[in-house]
Amino acid sequence: MRFGSKRTGSVSCRIPALLFAAVFMLMLPACGKKGPPVVPRKAALPAVTELRRQRIDDRLMLTWTLQTVNGQQRTDLAGFKVYRSRRGFSEPDCSSCPVLFERIADVPMNRPDAGPGSPGVFSFSDTLAEGYRYRYKVTIYTSAGEEGPASDTVDGVY
């Protein structure tokens, strides 16, 4: 004789029902929402290209162009940051040492001679001091402060 409650159904009938319910519950969160919302990305910032240098006496003239990205020009571009590294000849030449740049100028984007969508040529002039190795690079920045990739570097001695 058994003591306790009466069994109303077999355990073997409940297992498939519980298994089905568990699988169904696992599928509920997969409603198409894969994660937190993501802010749409702006078009990539264009790179400064064709950075060139020309020395005239004790002045160095840098010129560069700005290319469009996928044929489109961003409207929030504000200008360019010019960076310079300057090391004296008396300092040892270390090819494996990092190059330390300092920002020396901001060149505004608004130019009356550049038409809409035109890549344009931009320039900056720097006064050189004798006895130094110079290296320059240029980046573009937006009105919100976002900075683009650095150009190639140009270098020289004076």
- Exposure class string for 135-154: b at 16+ Cβ within 10 A, else e: bbbbbbbbeeeeebebbeeb
Say whether pLDDT at 2 is over 70: no
pLDDT of 68 = 65
pLDDT of 28 = 62
pLDDT of 51 = 93
Say whether pLDDT at 143 is over 60: yes
Say whether pLDDT at 7 is over 70: no
Say whether pLDDT at 139 is over 90: yes
Per residue in 75-124, pLDDT (tens digit) is 788 899 999 999 988 887 777 888 899 999 999 987 544 444 445 789 99
Mean pLDDT of the residues in the chain: 79
The DSSP letter of residue 16 is H
If one compares 2 and 137, the residue with the highest pLDDT of the two is: 137
If one compares 41 and 90, the residue with the highest pLDDT of the two is: 90
How far apart CA 8 and CA 31 sit, in angstroms, is: 37
Instruction: Report pTM.
Output: 0.67
pLDDT of 8 = 54
Sign of the dihedral through C-alpha 24, 29, 31, 34: negative
If one compares 47 and 79, the residue with the highest pLDDT of the two is: 79
Say whether pLDDT at 50 is over 80: yes
CATH superfamily of 48-157: Immunoglobulins (2.60.40.10)
pLDDT of 128 = 92
Say whether pLDDT at 32 is over 70: no
